[in-house]
Structure 1
Amino acid sequence: MDRAEIVHENFLARVPAGDLPQGAAPNDALSDAEAVALYRAQCLSRALDRTSRAMQKAGQGFYTIGSSGHEGMAAVAHALRPDDIAFLHYRDAAFQIARAGQVPGQSITWDMLLSFACSSEDPISGGRHKVLGSRALMIPPQTSTIASHLPKAVGAAYGLGLARRRPPEHRALPHDGIAMASFGDASANHSTAQGAINTAGWTSVQSVPMPMLFVCEDNGIGISTQTPKGWIAASMQHRPGIRYFHADGLDIYDTAKVAAEAAHYVRTQRKPAFLHLTMVRLYGHAGADLPTTYLPKSLVEAEEASDPLLHTVRLLDAAGALDRKDALSIYEETNARVARVAEEAVTRPRLRTAADVMASIIPPKRDCAPTNGPSAEEREAAFGSDMRQLDQPQPMSRLINWALTDLMLEHGEIVVMGEDVGRKGGVYGVTQRLHQRFGTDRVIDTLLDEQSILGLAIGMAHNGFIPMPEIQFLAYLHNAEDQMRGEAATLPFFSQGQFTNPMVLRIAGLGYQKGFGGHFHNDNSLAVLRDIPGIIIACPSNGPDAAMMLRESVRLAREEQRVVVFVEPIALYPMRDLHETGDNGWMGTYPSPDERIPLESVGVHGQGKDLAIVSYGNGYYLSRQAQEVLRAEGIDARVIDMRWIAPVPEQALLDATRGCKSVLIVDECRRTGGQAEGLMALFVERAELPVSRIAAEDSFIATGPAYAATMPSRDSIVAAAREACE
């Protein structure tokens, strides 16, 4: 027999018989009305679980991971305010239902059933997933969260503290709010969870405000693997900077009391807390999962006997708030009502076309206050002695630094964060003096954890900041790529643009560094970023372009709420010469602060018609060198700088190559997964031109003299160009 039906039948039989599990007496944490309201939320959560299973069997619903056993989370919602941002575990329907009861005008049963039915009228995801979430309830949507939401919850908590000192224009959270994230005991073992908890404690011990409430819902098992008894308490009770609380998650009175104490501590002390709730899991993990196939039947039945709804009936009866007969009536009436509403919800329209599904990948634009840029006096104070050099040619690293300075002067909500970006000024000096110019609030030296750096950025964006995180080297992004793929990029998609996390992620990367660190400091693959829907990838090749593209990137984040990845070629940071030593051919002067390079525009050098060389980054630099050699041989080439890797500036590239006899693509990234693959397809499909390519080998990069052996060079580009022209 279906375990869900067994639990249901047990409830129908045991409540009238008074056969209820034993437990502590109710405390005074809840009034009678409050306790009954929480019981109603628990019953609705249970009814929705049962109905979702029926919908799936009928082909009318599509995802049945449920909240049964975790209904005690309704009491956690009661202990928080509805404007406390909550990043929820997928078993927290009772939390969302109880919070809906705190906010007028909610139709939570209807809304959640629309989500179960994947209706396009679902108010949070528009039918893209069965998710918990609501803008009105300040619950950003999460999908199958395996702790990946914890870093951004920590970021949101940090942003709450910073906003009290420096309120951003688009502030969304209250000055005395807290951030909450819930997760299971199995997820607590994930490196992402451990990193986030560690970051919260690391921040707290430095007396930096961190109003963060972690809620661990400990049901003792992760899918089929049991958690060792006492593991969560033993591993979390003594974490530095974090206060530990424990409650019986089967007892709404105890949970409400302890959760209120934990929330009060976080709200008043502005320090993190860890709330450990012991619970049970009913029905197995999800869908057709049968717990008796991997757990002793006696254990499954013991957990079913501790059904939290049975505990609540006992507690309500003991408190004189609700007798068993009325409790049973509420349960049955709730089941019947949900079944009736579901009959209508399954008839509502669903997404049908690719355009329907993709409509929310790009977030909506938002109104921003006009800015006129910093005053001359503000610039003089910030730039200091650098003011005298602004009209002198400089390498890329310095022009990026100046662009950051002007942008931070103009937009007070910009915050730079990363490893060594503050006092040291970055490994390559790109963020030099920003710490002195803007202080520790806006230039944050983080701990060594890329997941936490990106989580900090995502969470701060929830409260109106424009984060500019830095990943020290491109290869280090892989420690945290899910924060981009599974969190930052998906948030507008799963919320129909109601929640966004705009940012400009700066990454020092690509190859051609001489003799430093091999692959981990020379990583020539952007493949992990290129296929993430909705993000923008910029890659400047020279200093003036970098400054102007960085300004456009900030505009895109601030006004269009986009996630932008700004890839800075390390080898070009200090580059001065182009053709020969001392020619200063790759230096540039600082563009006026109002100059930008628009998204999807390309750079063109020369008007030659024999050949168009299309490249970016270091490849563009090398192609410019090759251009001179080819001119001496009688081949007149034009060199085109993509500038924007994603979205590919297709029309601009087609326009820029028009009139040429052939196209050569120079790709410093690997042959497999590099930009050349898509560019080849573009020119084959949409241009009547012969097209060829030269790309890096499918190899990691060596250190020492062979640092560039696997990648295009000036000479190899010249040879490929000759062949193309033949």
Structure 2
Amino acid sequence: MNMIQAINSALEVMMARDPDVIVMGEDVGYFGGVFRATAGLQKKFGKTRVFDTPITETGIVGVAIGMGAYGLRPVPEIQFADYIYPALDQLVSEAARLRYRSNGDFTAPITVRSPFGGGIFGGQTHSQSPEGIFTHVSGIKTVIPSTPYDAKGLLIAAIEDNDPVLFFEPKRIYNGPFDGHWDRPAKSWAGHPAATVPTGYYRVPLGKAAVARAGEALTILAYGTMVHVCQSVVEEAGIDAEILDLRTLVPLDIEAIEASVKKTGRCMIVHEATRTSGFGAELSALVQERCFYHLEAPIERVTGFDTPYPHSLEWAYFPGPVRIGEALKKVMRT
């Protein structure tokens, strides 16, 4: 399966297992979603469990929170992560706080799916990476898969979780891995070991990172699309780097990060979101606090720039082989 098919499979499995699972959002029903992640679900499960909504993100999330408090497990889709901002108050002021405010009487077991990130020439309002905004909010879990296998298992775990989960899907790797070179033909997931996805039920636990590549000389912390770009750059550079795919930003697998950095003595952080207050800043602080006496070089960050997402300069903004390669050389020669 590619990642879209794996996500579709996860939704189908959970809807078959649990009649309380509801899929909702703009064009998710008859049309099957703009990326076809919900294709065929309305036909199989009916219009009361898979239905289209008006173009109102605050309404989509607000209704989902009400459904969750009532006892359902809604999976609302925000068509692009860039459009999640109108729903920010619902997510921050309602979903994230419902369990605490009600002393545990109510929860918000909702899983908000949304394609995010750049790399497809989507322009300024279809390419943003807003994960850092939500990792700041206590009470919301944030998940970003990098492979089809993880996408299905993590989505199932998110749907079964009793707290609100933001499930950001890196659309640049929906159909195959990406090495960061825009002028190369797109790869396919075919033949990739992580594309062997069971058709039935399985879970990938939230809060557990995965070693995407084992190594001894350097730890690279990444997630989503950047895992594949880093793998490509490391292989081309011939550096014995360990790439840790975080998979879940909140809860974060701090133990895995600490163990890897203490082993290698060097750390580089890569994400495509804006640099200032990006999640990499939190990672850098955690590594500094926990691994300072093991570090043999300053921590490096490779990120998007502190600018609005530039449509015409997308590939300069997107962390690619050149900038990641330069950072690799810098951290290794220090």
What's the TM-score, normalizing by structure 2?
A: 0.92
Cα distance, 1:428–1:584 mapped onto 2, change above 3 Å: closer
Cα distance, 1:488–1:585 mapped onto 2, change above 3 Å: closer
Q: 2:307 corresponds to which residue?
A: 699
Listed as ranges, the matches of 1:608-623 within 5 Å are 608-623=215-230
Cα distance, 1:619–1:686 mapped onto 2, change above 3 Å: same
Provide the C-alpha distance between the structure 2 equivalents of 1:511 and 1:699, rounded to a whole number of angstroms: 14
Provide the C-alpha distance between the structure 2 equivalents of 1:708 and 1:647, rounded to a whole number of angstroms: 31
Query: Is the partner of 1:521 in helix, strand or coil?
Result: coil
1:665 and 2:269 aligned:
yes
Provide the C-alpha distance between the structure 2 equivalents of 1:582 and 1:491, rounded to a whole number of angstroms: 43
- The aligned length equals 323
Cα distance, 1:577–1:528 mapped onto 2, change above 3 Å: closer
Cα distance, 1:429–1:594 mapped onto 2, change above 3 Å: closer
Q: 1:466 corresponds to which residue?
A: 73
Listed as ranges, the matches of 1:48-59 within 5 Å are none
Q: 1:59 corresponds to which residue?
A: none
Kept in 2: contact 1:613–1:664 (CA 8 A): yes
Kept in 1: contact 2:14–2:156 (CA 8 A): yes
Q: 1:550 corresponds to which residue?
A: 155
Q: 2:133 corresponds to which residue?
A: 528
Query: Is the partner of 2:243 in helix, strand or coil?
Result: strand
1:715 to 319, 322, 325: 322
Cα distance, 1:475–1:583 mapped onto 2, change above 3 Å: closer
1:562 and 2:163 aligned:
yes
Kept in 1: contact 2:220–2:244 (CA 8 A): yes
CA deviation string 1:336-386 (max 9, x = no partner)? xxxxxxxxxxxxxxxxxxxxxxxxxxxxxxxxxxxxxxxxxxxxxxxxxxx
Kept in 1: contact 2:208–2:252 (CA 8 A): no
The one-letter code matched in structure 2 to 1:606 is: R
Kept in 1: contact 2:80–2:116 (CA 8 A): yes
Provide the C-alpha distance between the structure 2 equivalents of 1:417 and 1:602, rounded to a whole number of angstroms: 29
2:173 to 563, 569, 572: 572
Q: 1:624 corresponds to which residue?
A: 231
Q: 1:490 corresponds to which residue?
A: 97
Listed as ranges, the matches of 1:209-608 within 5 Å are 394-513=1-120, 515-516=121-122, 518-556=123-161, 561-575=162-176, 581=185, 584=188, 587=192, 588-591=195-198, 593-608=200-215
How far the C-alpha of 1:667 sits from its partner, in A, is 1.6
Cα distance, 1:627–1:511 mapped onto 2, change above 3 Å: same
How far the C-alpha of 1:404 sits from its partner, in A, is 1.1
5+ residue gaps, structure 2: none
Provide the C-alpha distance between the structure 2 equivalents of 1:463 and 1:719, rounded to a whole number of angstroms: 52
Kept in 1: contact 2:176–2:186 (CA 8 A): no
Q: 2:280 corresponds to which residue?
A: 676
Q: 2:241 corresponds to which residue?
A: 637
Kept in 2: contact 1:481–1:528 (CA 8 A): no
CA deviation string 1:263-290 (max 9, x = no partner)? xxxxxxxxxxxxxxxxxxxxxxxxxxxx
Provide the C-alpha distance between the structure 2 equivalents of 1:465 and 1:681, rounded to a whole number of angstroms: 38
How far the C-alpha of 1:577 sits from its partner, in A, is 6.0
Cα distance, 1:623–1:576 mapped onto 2, change above 3 Å: closer
Provide the C-alpha distance between the structure 2 equivalents of 1:582 and 1:673, rounded to a whole number of angstroms: 31
How far the C-alpha of 1:525 sits from its partner, in A, is 2.5
How far the C-alpha of 1:396 sits from its partner, in A, is 0.8
Query: Is the partner of 1:520 in helix, strand or coil?
Result: coil
Listed as ranges, the matches of 1:37-76 within 5 Å are none
Provide the C-alpha distance between the structure 1 equivalents of 2:252 and 2:330, rounded to a whole number of angstroms: 26
Kept in 2: contact 1:450–1:477 (CA 8 A): yes
CA deviation string 1:497-547 (max 9, x = no partner)? 11212111111112222x22x121001232321211111000001111101
Quick check: which has more Rg, 1 or 2?
1
Provide the C-alpha distance between the structure 2 equivalents of 1:602 and 1:441, rounded to a whole number of angstroms: 36
Kept in 2: contact 1:610–1:662 (CA 8 A): yes
Kept in 1: contact 2:274–2:307 (CA 8 A): yes
How far the C-alpha of 1:477 sits from its partner, in A, is 0.7
How far the C-alpha of 1:626 sits from its partner, in A, is 0.9
Query: Is the partner of 2:244 in helix, strand or coil?
Result: strand
Cα distance, 1:583–1:479 mapped onto 2, change above 3 Å: closer
How far the C-alpha of 1:496 sits from its partner, in A, is 1.3
Provide the C-alpha distance between the structure 2 equivalents of 1:536 and 1:622, rounded to a whole number of angstroms: 25
Kept in 1: contact 2:109–2:159 (CA 8 A): no
How far the C-alpha of 1:711 sits from its partner, in A, is 2.6
Cα distance, 1:585–1:629 mapped onto 2, change above 3 Å: farther
The one-letter code matched in structure 2 to 1:460 is: M
Identity of aligned residues (%): 33
The one-letter code matched in structure 2 to 1:550 is: L
Kept in 2: contact 1:604–1:656 (CA 8 A): no
4+ residue segments displaced more than 6 Å? none
How far the C-alpha of 1:446 sits from its partner, in A, is 0.4
Query: Is the partner of 2:94 in helix, strand or coil?
Result: helix
Kept in 2: contact 1:577–1:585 (CA 8 A): no
Kept in 1: contact 2:32–2:41 (CA 8 A): yes
Query: Is the partner of 2:154 in helix, strand or coil?
Result: helix
Q: 2:255 corresponds to which residue?
A: 651
The one-letter code matched in structure 2 to 1:623 is: C
Provide the C-alpha distance between the structure 2 equivalents of 1:470 and 1:444, rounded to a whole number of angstroms: 11
Query: Is the partner of 1:591 in helix, strand or coil?
Result: coil
